[in-house]
Amino acid sequence: MRALVIGAGPAGLTATLVLRRAGWYVRLVEESPALRTQGFSVPVHERGSAVLSALGLLPPVEGLVEMWRGDLVRLLAGEVGEIDFGVGAKDLADRFGDYDVVLGADGIDSPTRALAGFPEGRRATGFSLALYRDDPAAGPRVFPTGEDPGGTPWRVDEITQIELPHWSRGHVMLIGDAAAACGAATGFSTTVALVMAYQVANALVAGRTPRDVEARLRPWVTEQQAAARRRLPA
Ligand SMILES: Cc1cc2nc3c(=O)[nH]c(=O)nc-3n(C[C@H](O)[C@H](O)[C@H](O)COP(=O)(O)OP(=O)(O)OC[C@H]3O[C@@H](n4cnc5c(N)ncnc54)[C@H](O)[C@@H]3O)c2cc1C
């Protein structure tokens, strides 16, 4: 079987690893010229670390594991094999039909989502995140959108979730933030991405359809998104 995986973040790397280990031909593309290892510490909840253990990348752990995003991406990429850097979803939009399955793992702003005809699916949480680069004492700040976060932020982003009526259209399926982002700074997105990617890839290997996988995963993912919203200030 042949798969195209778009995006070498935690979701795309996990799915590729599972599919390649099962003998699938997988083309993994990443639009950046190198692995994107930037980012802060990302919480990996128990179901996420269970995925890393099942892949043989971490010893079994109980409870929450805090990992630097860069370490997680390097850990997965170290096992995954070839990545086509500098190739984006748009470069391949007219080649989707060459593959049995296309997995869009290209993050919250996923170009694959629009290219494959999914709705945008953005849900505002009413909160934004301010990051401060030049003031080491100022950590990231979550504040109501439209209010003044204080100080001089380097970057301000609205905290949004992605909620789609379906994660698959034909043979194209979205995974990770592209399908169901929980929102920056809520601490759930990486776990959801790992679990989704692992389960989707294993189900495909077992010959199940994307729709079938989605039906099994959706209640848990919806619960994680609700829990993420509850983490935001009241
Ligand atoms: C640079 C970066 C830093 C981050 N820092 C943090 C952080 O500090 N804390 C936190 O909680 N979360 C952070 N995140 C988000 C976090 O990684 C995700 O919420 C979570 O791990 C889910 O992973 P994902 O693989 O679905 O998406 P992502 O981690 O966003 O990975 C998506 C990948 O797809 C690639 N991509 C995007 N568009 C295209 C395209 N058109 N074609 C091909 N490839 C494409 C991106 O370059 C990226 O490598 C960061 C994401 C990125 C990209």
pLDDT tens profile 130-157 = 998 877 667 789 999 999 999 889 999 9
Residue among 183, 203, 181 nearest 192 (CA): 181
> CB of 183 closer than 6 A to ligand 1?
no
Indicate if ligand 1 lies below 6 Å from the C-beta of 70.
Answer: no
At residue 138, the pLDDT reads 73
**Tokens standing for 8?**
């070498």
CATH of domain 2-231: 3.50.50.60
Of 43-47, 90-94, 127-131, 209-213, give the lowest mean pLDDT range.
209-213
* CB of 111 shorter than 6 A to ligand 1: yes
Tell me if 137 CB under 6 Å of ligand 1. no
CB atoms within 10 A of CB 118: 22
Tell me the three state secondary structure of residue 129.
strand
User: Are 35 and 72 a contacting pair, CB within 8 Å?
Assistant: no
Question: What are 94-111's pLDDT values in tens digits?
Answer: 999 999 999 999 999 999
Q: pLDDT tens across 17-76, in order?
A: 999 999 999 999 999 999 999 988 899 999 999 999 999 999 999 889 999 999 999 999
* HSE-up of residue 25 (Cα within 13 Å, Cβ side): 5
Domain ranges of the chain: 2-231
Residue with tokens 């692992």: 198
Residue type for position 123: R
**Are 63 and 31 contacting, i.e. CB atoms less than 8 angstroms apart?**
no
By alpha-carbon position, which residue is closest to atom 22 of ligand 1? 190
DSSP 185: T
